[in-house]
Amino acid sequence: MKLLVVSDERGRIISLSVPGDVSGISGIGKAGVLPKSGQLIHTLDVPPEFEKHPLLELHRVLRVDGVGAKARLVSLEKFTETFLKGG
């Protein structure tokens, strides 16, 4: 499952989004968030071991590791910047 992820430059998750249904009754064709200075937007895969976890739990237990094309969602426990593991 892919999520729209907004993070700060240290990988802390600001928000997660499951894309809305663009074929639904709303008529919305697309939507997104305007990032603030210092925030990054990614479209990232949920790690397989977390696929069935609720969205809010993912927000709490995951971080973004890496930048650009190498960015990925990782468990807080595996986050390389260990001194930044705190929320």
Would you put residue 11 in left (φ > 0), alpha (ψ -120 to 50) or beta?
left
CA-CA distances (angstroms) from residue 65 to 16, 22, 40, 50? 15, 30, 12, 16
Cβ contacts of 15 within 8 Å, gap of 6 or more? 5, 6, 33, 59
Closest separation between CB of residue 37 and other proteins, Å?
A: 13
Q: Is 69 in the site for other proteins (CB under 8 A)?
A: no
**56 vs 69 by CB, closer to other proteins:** 56
x/- track of binding to other proteins for residues 25-64 (CB under 8 A):
xxxxxxxxxx-x-----------------xxx-xxx----
Closest separation between CB of residue 26 and other proteins, Å?
A: 3
Binding residues vs other proteins (CB under 8 A): 6, 13-21, 24-34, 36, 54-56, 58-60
